[in-house]
Amino acid sequence: MKKRKFGLALSLVLAAGTILGACGKAEEENNAAEGGNTETTEDAFTVAMVTDVGGVDDKSFNQSAWEGLQAYGEEVGLEKGKDGFDYLQSQSDADYSTNLNTLARQDFDLIFGIGFLMEGAIKEIAAQQKESNFGIVDALVEEPNVVSIMFKEQEAAFLAGVAAAKATTSNKIGFLGGMEIPVIERFETGFKAGVAAVNPDITVDVQYAGAFDKAEVGQTIASSMYSKGIDVIFHAAGGTGNGLFKEARDLKKKEPERQVWAIGVDSDQTAEGVVEIDGKEHNVIITSALKRVDNAVKDLSLKAKDGDFPGGETITYGLSEDGVGLAPINEEVAAKADIETAVADFSEKIKNGDLVIPSTLEELKSFSVQ
Query: What is the pLDDT, as a whole number, of residue 12?
Result: 38
Cross-strand bridge partners of residue 173: 204, 232
Nearest to 200 by CA among 12, 33, 367, 24: 367
Other C-beta atoms within 10 Å of 27: how many? 13
Assign 41 a pLDDT band (cuts: 50, 70, 90). low
Angle among Cα 21, 25, 28 to the nearest 5 degrees reads 135
Pairwise CA distance, residues 56 & 238, whole Å? 12
Nearest to 327 by CA among 355, 359, 285: 285
Strands, DSSP E only, in 156-279? 172-177, 203-208, 232-236, 261-266, 274-277
Residue 125, H or E segment: helix 119-128
Q: At what angle do helices 182-198 and 336-351 cross, to 10 degrees?
A: 120
pTM of the model: 0.84
Pairwise CA distance, residues 311 & 316, whole Å? 14
Q: Domains for the chain: give ranges and CATH numbers.
A: 43-151+293-317 (3.40.50.2300), 153-290+335-364 (3.40.50.2300)
Residue 123, H or E segment: helix 119-128
Residues comprising the chain, all counted: 370
Residues 26-53, mean pLDDT to the nearest whole number:
65
Query: What is the pLDDT, as a whole number, of residue 53?
Result: 85
Strands 280-283 and 274-277: antiparallel
pLDDT tens for 251-308 read: 999 999 999 999 999 999 999 999 999 999 999 999 999 999 999 999 999 999 999 9
Assign 60 a pLDDT band (cuts: 50, 70, 90). confident
Q: CB of 56 within 8 A of CB of 63?
A: yes
